[in-house]
Chains A and B, each alone.
Chain A
């Protein structure tokens, strides 16, 4: 009988290894001044350097070096005082040079670690993921395989290449082998990539969009029989394009390998492709060994030797680690776990924080962003932050706090701002949305309501306070919803001899 996940875990121990590739968000490519803008027409962002034309010479992008150092420091790595680039030679048309400039035995950052937490039944559990290296390289071009099964290499008749992406700065972040994660292996893998993504975002070095490929994860896993003390043969799964897929890919691969081993079969060291629909993997191209890449030092580039003082300058500018910041904000704002998670998942934490920094109440800021604004954003299928900015939301919250708007009017103001009618003040002006706070105007409306509903008024006089609701409703209607309902109630009850 085939083993399920629990059955696999009972007999085998997993060892993980994760390689994350992240595209930097520099304006230009790693070694030339071509733009890195996403989504441009094919082959509009190339030049002799990134096309590998004869006589062209690469020159390193200084911001890419700085970003690499930032990443290394944030991951507790040592920054190498001297590092060099190397050519990785391979025969595949995604690099027009026929090699990729990378780093081999002299990477810029080494020996770091990242602590990650996962939720388990008993609370949270912490794992330390050791980082082997962070190195700089360049991204490859995009291939479109034509003929056969569309988009697949297999059976293609020819391939079409777009080199816009070729040469975009790419950082490869490689973990050491991660033992001891046991049944939590898939969760640990996901938590690591999530934490790494958050850190990279907080550093401002990458867009970290997995769906656009600016963050890509290769997930390695191997199994060894419990107590054998021997490391199993690993597979490397590519095409893992979401955080959820990282978890599913490891999970699926552990089941596949466990069942092969159970049937006495051998695991082949190979690259596999993750299939989003089934959560399974299929074999990809057979892996060339490191020797086959014939690495050698890139003779067209000089060494990178960052000054210690520069490294310390960069260290001083590193932002608070996202997981630490989240815990701090949650405590400061007294946010329940569920709401905190919702805010993080909606990627609105920065936005809410910006709104709070402008003086808004944290609960109100959260409620507006996650409530009304997110609702409209979902309807329109756009980002909440494209509808309003923190300053506008803070302004609306301020106007409610000062009594100039009721919650109901505030919603109309928000609606107006989203509709592009201008700033909150302008919307209030144009729509005439000011709270009617003039007591004499309110009294006139109250008198009118009483004279149109004399019986109701009498019931209130006789002590039936809930009956006042109908009169308050009439006043609110008469003032177009712009009166402060609490004030109307107070004035009405006083007038009918039922004041407190």
Chain B
């Protein structure tokens, strides 16, 4: 059975606002399916006595003190932005299609 359907890929593409052609969907659905099947092998190792983890190290309560450190200058912060205006990141209109 496929681990991910073509419809699910189309849905994810929509959530990520990525336009995909029918051919691209076919192609990607099959590729993602293979990847997911490969990752599925982890499940074989994860027996009942192996608790799920979200972190490779057995750490907890790693915190930092509430002390201000220097921020980037706005110039540096914006230096990687494709576009900026009024010292802000400029992005294309969003959600227009959803409303």
Chain A residues at the B interface, C-beta cutoff of 8 Å: 26-28, 32-35, 41-48, 51, 53, 59-65, 82, 84, 89-93, 96, 144, 147, 153-163, 285-286, 288, 292, 294, 297-299, 301-306
Contact = CB atoms under 8 A, between A and B. Distances in A.
Interface in B1-47: 15-17
A299 B90 contact: no
A319 to B, nearest CB: 20
22 contacts: A28-B68, A42-B86, A42-B88, A43-B77, A44-B73, A46-B72, A51-B77, A59-B64, A60-B64, A61-B64, A63-B65, A63-B66, A96-B89, A158-B90, A158-B93, A159-B90, A159-B94, A160-B90, A161-B88, A161-B89, A161-B91, A301-B55
Contacts of B59: 302
A28 to B, nearest CB: 5
B60 A160 contact: no
Nearest to A94: B94
B66 A27 contact: yes
Nearest to A152: B99
Given A42-B74, A43-B88, A159-B93, A305 B61 contact: yes
A7 B16 CA distance: 45
A62 B77 contact: no
Contact of B63 (A34, A53, A61, A160): A61
Interface of B: 15-17, 54-55, 57, 59-69, 71-74, 77-78, 80, 85-96, 98-99
Contacts of A157: 93
Contacts of A28: 66-69
A465 to B, nearest CB: 69
A157 to B, nearest CB: 6
Given A62-B64, A297-B54, A302-B61, 13 more contacts: A26-B66, A27-B67, A43-B89, A47-B71, A61-B66, A91-B15, A92-B94, A144-B88, A155-B96, A162-B87, A162-B88, A303-B60, A305-B61
B62 A59 contact: yes
B4 to A, nearest CB: 13
B78 to A, nearest CB: 6
Nearest to B52: A297
Given A160-B85, A288-B15, A35 B91 contact: no
Most buried by A among B80, B89, B99: B89
Contact of B77 (A63, A92, A163, A297): A163
Nearest to A24: B66
Contacts of A153: 94-95, 99
A301 B59 CA distance: 9
A301 B93 CA distance: 32
Contact of A62 (B15, B60, B65, B90): B65
Contact of B66 (A46, A62, A84): A62
B95 A285 contact: yes
Nearest to B92: A158
Contact of A43 (B17, B55, B78, B95): B78
A93 B62 contact: no
A429 B90 CA distance: 60
A46 B85 CA distance: 17
Given A33-B64, A46-B77, A91-B16, A156 B93 contact: yes
Contact of B94 (A26, A93, A299, A304): A93
Contact of B61 (A42, A44, A292, A304): A304
Contacts of B92: 158-159
A44 B77 CA distance: 8
B71 A34 contact: yes
Nearest to A85: B54
Contacts of A89: 15
Give me the 5 closest cross-chain CB pairs, A-B, nearest first: A33-B69, A297-B54, A160-B88, A62-B63, A63-B66
A60 B62 contact: yes
A163 B90 CA distance: 12
A276 B80 CA distance: 38
Contact of A41 (B55, B68, B87, B94): B87
Contacts of B86: 42, 144, 160
B60 A35 contact: no
Nearest to B53: A297
User: Which of B17, B65, B94, B98 has the most CB atoms of chain A within a 10 A radius of its CB?
Assistant: B94
Contacts of A306: 61
Given A61-B63, A163-B77, A302 B68 contact: no
